[in-house]
Amino acid sequence: MDPILIVRGLSVTFPDSNGGLEALGSADFVIYPQEFVCLLGPSGSGKSTLLRVLAGLLRPTAGEFVFAGGQPKIGMVFQQANLMPWRTVLENITLPLELENVPPDERRARALAFIELVGLTGFENSWPRDLSGGMAQRVALARALIHDPDLLLLDEPFGSLDALTRERMWSELSRIWQAHRKTVLMVTHSIGEALFLADRVLVLSQRPGRIKLDLRVDLPRPRTDDIRYTTHFGRLARRLKEAIE
Ligand code: ADP
Ligand code: MG
């Protein structure tokens, strides 16, 4: 299979008072269609910077990235849900469709389907201020999925959630990914999260980040809690840990 994304020598240097801060060293990797790839690395290693470049929000200083099939539709989710407080759950999720001028009835029908998919049925008319962190991230995920993106870019989407909620969200995201087969690139600094979700884990070195390890996660799916207590999981976790240190 041909990659859908090819990244070559991508680097980003931010201007500062002493010659520039090199956030991303020189990143090289590819992503294949329908793959779930996690990008793991210490804080400040350029993970968010890399995602922002791929989303077209930031211009790289050097290198290039090529989407094989032309510019894909991209859905993004950040650590904070960034919902519009004056819009209900339903209205937050229909927003991308309003911007695409989809007719109101169709907007509503599609939003309701995604509300069900992310497990928020019954909360269509709730306000963001009344949602828990996990529920707000479900809304953000539904909003990112609703315009049927080819590529999902997730930047520590569960980073602000408590441990139990986070683990519930892993299962949900896994289920959604298996149902819709999106290509996903997800930033995390959690080894457990990466191994639970990914087909492949890319490890970034300390700043300026370079891809230090490209590890295939050959754990069977669907993955359940039990997988974390297997020796193979332990072996993979150890390889990731050694690469990060
Ligand atoms: P990560 O997401 O891996 O924690 P980031 O990509 O956010 O790391 O940041 C990498 C480095 O680049 C950090 O040292 C950060 O302070 C710096 N940086 C990020 N964004 C900017 C910016 N807009 N201007 C200047 N420096 C930045
Ligand atoms: Mg970050």
Atom of ligand 1 nearest to the CA of 51: 6
User: Residue 220: is the preceding peptide bond cis (ω within 30°)?
Assistant: no
**pLDDT one-digit tens code per residue, 65-107:** 999 989 999 999 998 999 999 999 999 999 999 998 999 999 9
**How many other C-beta atoms can be found within 10 angstroms of the C-beta atom of residue 119?**
17
Residue whose C-alpha is closest to residue 233's, from 193, 183, 204, 205 = 193
Question: Mind giving me the DSSP string for 213-237?
Answer: EEEE----SS--GGGGGSHHHHHHH
Tally of CB atoms within 10 A around 62: 12
Gap between the Cα atoms of 49 and 57, Å rounded? 9
pLDDT in tens, 208-240: 889 999 999 999 998 988 999 999 999 999 999
Query: What is the structure's pLDDT at 95?
Result: 94
Distance 84 CA to ligand 2 centre (A): 22
Instruction: Name the residue with the closest Cα to ligand 1, atom 23.
Output: 14
Query: 3-state DSSP call for residue 241?
Result: helix
CA-204 nearest atom, ligand 1: 3
Quick one: CA dihedral 155, 77, 166, 228, positive or negative?
negative
C-beta of residue 146 within 8 angstroms of C-beta of residue 96: yes
pLDDT digit string (tens) for 136-173?
Answer: 999 999 999 998 899 999 999 998 888 888 898 898 89
Give the Cα separation of 141 and 167 in Å (integer).
Answer: 16
- Which of 10, 12, 13, 14 for a ligand 1 pocket mutation test, highest count of atoms within 8 Å of Cβ? 14
CA of 21 to the centre of ligand 1 (A): 9
Residues enclosing ligand 1, CB less than 6 A?
A: 14, 21, 23, 41, 43-49, 207
CB atoms closer than 10 angstroms to residue 229: 8
Measured in angstroms, how far is the CA atom of residue 43 from the centroid of ligand 2? 7
The structure's pTM equals 0.94
| Nearest CA owner, ligand 1 atom 25 | 14
User: How many angstroms separate the alpha carbon of residue 210 from the centre of ligand 1?
Assistant: 14
Ligand nearest to the CA of 39: 1
Name the amino acid, one letter, at 52. R
Q: Report long-range pairs for 172-179 (Cβ below 8 Å, ≥24 apart).
A: 172/118, 172/119, 172/138, 173/141, 173/197, 174/221, 174/222, 174/223, 175/222, 176/117, 176/118, 176/141, 176/145, 177/36, 178/221, 178/222, 179/117
